């Protein structure tokens, strides 16, 4: 749990944070037992930019013009605070190459887009992973004195481990029935980056993506989950769990599949990109 609260007067700018994190990455020494920032960043009096929200809704497939935040939008609001923590000198994992592996979201009720909120973000823990070290980042949104939304994201820094853990045993499930085929344009990463502020170069252009080992630009993981939830639908009070299994190359074609509260995004030869569950709370 965070030791101290640091109250901010505004949301940090992402571009310099990403640049600082990139510059510091070669000097990081990731390890599960390494010290990490214990502060909880708090941003009170937050109001949503409705024009930016509408751009986000359009690129993700949510309906526009409603006085309601999509279930994934608070993650966008909290991302600059998370980046401030993860790009700091005392965060032991390198920002370059850090992989978003999962997210859980709990929405406790409707969230008006015109509301005023308090946002807080902290790093909960570091933990060993069979491929390196994983950080858990917790985001919480409060409105009218109560928690209205919260999430927990895991980010993996890959490195050699002395005693690799065994691969987790996964529940064997059959493939979900296909619902739709989506043809993704090459500019999805740029459009989502403009709406969310996350302009990581791996998402923007084939040339910059190749610098990090990808043959083409890849879609943002949070875009894929948002697009799935836009198609699936979510009740006002709900719990969402999603895992990012494999990158989605742009341009490309994927299959959205769903049944009851489960959904997934599949690529060629039924390669799984995203799996998830949604259920009311």
DSSP state of 203: G
Q: What is the pLDDT of residue 200?
A: 83
Count the alpha carbons within 13 Å of 147 in the hemisphere toward its beta carbon.
10
pLDDT band at residue 163, thresholds of 50, 70 and 90? low
Residue 90 CA to residue 161 CA, distance in Å, equals: 21
165-177: average pLDDT: 68
Residue 97 CA to residue 12 CA, distance in Å, equals: 22
pLDDT band at residue 171, thresholds of 50, 70 and 90? low
pLDDT higher than threshold 70 for residue 259: yes
Q: Please provide the average confidence, as pLDDT, over all residues in the chain.
A: 93
- Give the pLDDT confidence of 197-253 residue by residue, as tens digits: 888 888 888 898 888 788 999 999 999 999 999 999 999 999 999 999 999 999 999
pLDDT higher than threshold 80 for residue 174: no
pLDDT higher than threshold 80 for residue 36: yes
Residue 97 CA to residue 95 CA, distance in Å, equals: 6
Output Rg (C-alpha) for the chain, integer angstroms. 18
How buried is 250 (Cβ within 10 angstroms: 0-12 exposed, 13-18 middle, 19+ buried)? buried
DSSP state of 216: S
178-187: average pLDDT: 96
Count the alpha carbons within 13 Å of 186 in the hemisphere toward its beta carbon.
6
Q: Which residues of 184-220 are buried (b: 16+ CB within 10 A; e: fewer)?
A: beebbbbbbbbbbbbebbbbbbeeebeeeebebbbbb
62-88: average pLDDT: 96
Q: What is the pLDDT of residue 98?
A: 87
């Amino acid at each position: 749990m965070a030791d101290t609260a640091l109250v901010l007067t505004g949301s940090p700018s992402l571009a310099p944070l990403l640049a600082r994190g990139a510059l510091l990455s070669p000097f990081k020494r990731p390890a599960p037992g390494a010290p990490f920032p214990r502060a909880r960043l708090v941003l009170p009096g937050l109001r949503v930019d409705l024009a930016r929200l509408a751009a986000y809704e359009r690129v993700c497939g949510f309906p526009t013009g409603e006085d309601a935040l999509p279930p994934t939008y608070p993650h966008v609001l909290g991302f600059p605070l998370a980046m401030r923590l993860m790009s700091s000198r005392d965060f032991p994992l390198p920002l370059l190459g850090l992989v978003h592996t999962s997210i859980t979201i709990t929405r406790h009720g409707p969230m008006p887009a015109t509301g005023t909120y308090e946002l807080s973000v902290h790093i909960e823990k570091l933990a060993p992973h069979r491929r390196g070290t994983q950080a858990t980042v917790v985001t919480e949104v409060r409105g009218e004195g109560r928690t209205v939304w919260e999430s927990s994201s895991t980010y993996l820094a890959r490195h050699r481990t002395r005693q690799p853990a065994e691969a987790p045993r996964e529940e064997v499930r059959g493939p979900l029935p296909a619902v739709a085929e989506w043809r993704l344009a090459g500019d999805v990463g740029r459009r989502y980056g403009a709406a969310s502020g996350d302009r990581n170069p791996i998402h923007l252009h084939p040339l910059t993506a190749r610098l990090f080992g990808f043959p083409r630009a890849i879609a943002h993981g949070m875009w894929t989950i948002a697009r799935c939830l836009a198609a699936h639908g979510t009740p006002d009070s709900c719990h969402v769990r999603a895992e990012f299994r494999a990158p989605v190359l742009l341009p490309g074609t994927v299959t959205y599949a769903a049944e009851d509260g489960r959904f997934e995004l599949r690529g060629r030869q039924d390669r799984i990109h995203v799996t998830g569950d949604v259920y009311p709370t």
